[in-house]
Structure 1
Amino acid sequence: MNQTIATAVEEGNLYEIEDLVNGALAKGEAPKELLEAMMAGLKACGDRFEKGEYFLPELMGAGDAFKAGMGVLAPKLRAGDQVSQGKVVLGTVHGDVHDIGKNLVGFMLSSAGFTVVDIGVDVSTEGFVRAVQEHEPQVLGMSALLTTTMLGMEGVIAALKKEGLRDRVKVIIGGGPVSKKYAEDIGADAYGNDAAQAVNLVKGLL
């Protein structure tokens, strides 16, 4: 594993990550191995956040570095004229600005040939409903890292029902405090406990 790239993501080194990824690609390192290194860096940052060694700015910095690196790497991971496997809308619920897990899921799905519409963080219930209306995805993915914000997921599902949209879209949820039982309780179609599951979960829903 390219430890230099992993460390750059972990430490949120936004200004060097693109050069590091480009340099590694120029040396012939495999794109998937570089993705694994960046994911390892994100995980290390997340672990330090959970231990209280890192705080929100460090978490967001690592996410920004990951995005920058993926801007270079993503085209190398995707097949040139690959037909889309389906459309997925992803967002972090209202009141929550954590996006590392969401970003990982998005890149995993994009690399597997899905069209991903990322509507960002701190998304209101109305924002999720509008995104489903506008983009007509097969799957809606919601993320939360806080126990207080994950409660908004139930509100989104209720709003989709109210607008007559629930039967048109599968709903998958995930994030630190989220569980399979909570997904079942609020009527979600699936729960994922890590980004690596995302592709198989989404394929299983379609």
Structure 2
Amino acid sequence: MTDPLIKAIVDMDDNEAIKIVNKRIAANEDPMSILDCSKEALTTIGELFETGEFFLAELVMGGQIFKEIADIVSPLLKSEVAESKGRILIGTVQNDIHDLGKNIVVLMLEISGFDVLDIGVDQPAENFIKAIKEFDPQVIGLSGLLTVAFTSMQKIVAEIENAGLREGRKIMIGGSQMDDHVNKFVGTDAYGTDAMKAVELSSNWCKG
């Protein structure tokens, strides 16, 4: 962990992390490299959480520091597009409160020129349906990390179909445990395990 920004984030040193970010921006460092360091720090925090060295408090704090950095860096990265590439609805499904991965996906989609509505974590089917009716997205992203999220995802997809809102839209699921089996079980169009896959899928689906 030689990069001082990564170390500051993993050490939960909010002030030092922001100081380093501002210094690097002033030195005309590529904003994407700053974001990459921040994402690497989040990955490290996630690994420490999985091994029991970090707890939920560290996960939350790490996410807050990342968001502060993203708020500073993202205006320097956002594509200068004449109009939106498409509308994406995203949320972490019911019975799951993880949002670090979702927040990275939201940021990368926004940077890529999409309008994104993030409805938050632990969201039941009715909240997704309400948002679909109001926001009219072309793509719906269901995020989840825990295995219990798979059943929630399946229920949300079924409720969207029952409400007559599936036609003309694509649904993707995201999370580190997603694979072809889960995608088939949930009944979605595709899955991704990282933010760039979400951008790739959304770009392909929203063409034309």
TM score, norm. by length of structure 1:
0.93
Structure 1 counterpart of 2:190: 190
Q: Deviations over 1:117-163 (max 9, x none)?
A: 11111111111111111111111111111111231001110110111
Classify the secondary structure of the residue corresponding to 2:171.
strand
Structure 2 counterpart of 1:151: 151
What one-letter code is carried by the residue in structure 1 that aligns with 2:75? P
Q: Distance in 2 between matches of 1:11 and 1:165?
A: 45
Structure 2 counterpart of 1:36: 36
CA separation of 1:83/1:180 partners in 2, compared to 1, >3 Å: closer, same or farther?
same
CA separation of 1:196/1:81 partners in 2, compared to 1, >3 Å: closer, same or farther?
closer
CA RMSD of aligned residues (A): 1.8
Matched, 1:103 2:103: yes
CA separation of 1:78/1:178 partners in 2, compared to 1, >3 Å: closer, same or farther?
same
CA separation of 1:166/1:13 partners in 2, compared to 1, >3 Å: closer, same or farther?
farther
1:61 Cα shift?
1.1
What one-letter code is carried by the residue in structure 2 that aligns with 1:171? I
Classify the secondary structure of the residue corresponding to 1:91.
strand
Classify the secondary structure of the residue corresponding to 1:166.
coil
Structure 2 counterpart of 1:64: 64
CA separation of 1:87/1:9 partners in 2, compared to 1, >3 Å: closer, same or farther?
farther
1:15 Cα shift?
3.8
TM score, norm. by length of structure 2:
0.92
Work out whether residues 81 and 113 of structure 2, in 8 Å CA contact, stay in contact via their aligned partners in 1.
Answer: no
What one-letter code is carried by the residue in structure 1 that aligns with 2:77? L
What one-letter code is carried by the residue in structure 2 that aligns with 1:68? E
Classify the secondary structure of the residue corresponding to 1:85.
coil
Q: Distance in 1 between matches of 2:59 and 2:104?
A: 14
Q: Deviations over 1:144-188 (max 9, x none)?
A: 111112310011101101111011321100113332221122210
What one-letter code is carried by the residue in structure 2 that aligns with 1:177? Q
Query: Runs of 4 or more off by more than 4 Å in structure 1?
Result: none
Q: Distance in 2 between matches of 1:104 and 1:32?
A: 13
Unaligned runs of 5+ in 2: none
1:16 Cα shift?
3.9
Unaligned runs of 5+ in 1: none
What one-letter code is carried by the residue in structure 2 that aligns with 1:46? G
Percentage of matched positions with identical amino acids? 37
What one-letter code is carried by the residue in structure 2 that aligns with 1:183? N
Q: Distance in 1 between matches of 2:11 and 2:159?
A: 39
Work out whether residues 42 and 63 of structure 2, in 8 Å CA contact, stay in contact via their aligned partners in 1.
Answer: yes
Work out whether residues 2 and 34 of structure 1, in 8 Å CA contact, stay in contact via their aligned partners in 2.
Answer: no
1:81 Cα shift?
4.9
Q: How many pairs align?
A: 206
Structure 1 counterpart of 2:135: 135
1:82 Cα shift?
4.2
Matched, 1:7 2:7: yes
Which segment is superposed worse, 184-193 or 195-204?
A: 195-204
1:104 Cα shift?
1.0
Q: Distance in 2 between matches of 1:134 and 1:18?
A: 36
CA separation of 1:148/1:71 partners in 2, compared to 1, >3 Å: closer, same or farther?
same
